[in-house]
Structure 1
Amino acid sequence: MTRQVLVPIDDSNPARAALEHALTVFDPETAVSVIHVVDDLESGYGGGPTADDHEPAFFDDVETRAADRHLETQVVEGTPADAILEYVDEHGIDQIVMGSEGRAGVSRMLLGSVAENVTRRASVPVTIVPHER
């Protein structure tokens, strides 16, 4: 029985689809952790915020969608796949539910697919949720 699910999220439609999937498939007793990873490579070169900055605005939408659930939100810093896998190990996560894609453009081509990287390296089951186009 899955007791703790992790949903890595950004402000993308596939990430929102993953959250909806987790909230629909898992019973209300299942704790859901939602993390947003601030890529330390991008923030280090001035390309974005750091984990110390305020929580992203889309966390408000996450909390609204999961109002009847035990939900934790957190911003973490690191290389996305590494940060997700580290969170899994440190927080006793039983399953990961994530969108099929998040990044777009050159960043995705250079860094590869976070979902693929997590799936290959995870020690727990990973559900990849496709986004309807």
Structure 2
Amino acid sequence: MTRHLLVPMDDSEPARAALEHTVSVFPDDEVTVLHVVDDLETGYGGGRPPVTTGGEKRADDDEPDFFEDARSIAAAHDRTVEATVITGTSADAILEYAREHDVDQIVMGSEGRSGVSRMLLGSIAEAVTRRSSVPVTIVP
């Protein structure tokens, strides 16, 4: 039985490590790479979001450059990945996407923050792990 795995991704080494782990450890499963554009940052930054309010990517926008890295990582393992961009608050958007798209497991990287840094900045990986209804694997 093929499972649907979700790998939240940004332009970071922990995200790349999570994708590398996913395509190497789960060779037969469907993988979706998800990038969440924080709607607050987009609004305050003055730029327009890369997706419509309904969550669908606009055709006239290019996807993030690191999606090409994601495809290269997958190709190195003879795999392909689906890549999607949505807007929202990171942890909430990841969890909502997982619910709405029948995701079986979330695999994500973690910066490994601890102590005061984690308390002040929060941890998307921790929030997803605590609130997810599906298994979450954190790759350091």
Pairwise TM-score range, normalised by the shorter structure: 0.7 to 0.9
Max radius of gyration: which structure? 2
Distance (Å, rounded) in 2 between the aligned partners of 1:30 and 1:92: 13
Query: Are 2:110 and 2:125, in contact at CA under 8 Å, matched by a contact in 1?
Result: yes
Offset of residue 69 of structure 1: 2.0
1:58 paired residue number: 66
Distance (Å, rounded) in 2 between the aligned partners of 1:43 and 1:51: 9
2:79 paired residue number: 69
1:119 paired residue number: 129
Deviation string 1:7-62 (CA, Å, 9 cap, x unpaired) is 000001111110111011102x2000001100011111116662334210010111
Offset of residue 78 of structure 1: 0.2
Query: Are 2:71 and 2:80, in contact at CA under 8 Å, matched by a contact in 1?
Result: no
Offset of residue 110 of structure 1: 4.9
Runs of 5+ unmatched residues, structure 2: 52-60
Offset of residue 65 of structure 1: 1.6
1:20 paired residue number: 20
Offset of residue 102 of structure 1: 8.8
Aligned partner of 1:100 among 104, 110, 117? 110
The 3 A distance-change label for structure 1 pair 48 and 113 is: farther
Identity %: 69
Runs of 5+ unmatched residues, structure 1: none
1:32 paired residue number: 31
Query: Are 1:3 and 1:30, in contact at CA under 8 Å, matched by a contact in 2?
Result: yes
The 3 A distance-change label for structure 1 pair 95 and 42 is: same
The 3 A distance-change label for structure 1 pair 72 and 115 is: same
Offset of residue 64 of structure 1: 1.6
Q: In the alignment, residue 14 of structure 2 is paired with which amino acid?
A: P
Give the TM-score of the pair, scaled to structure 1.
0.85
2:4 paired residue number: 4
Give the TM-score of the pair, scaled to structure 2.
0.81
The 3 A distance-change label for structure 1 pair 127 and 42 is: same
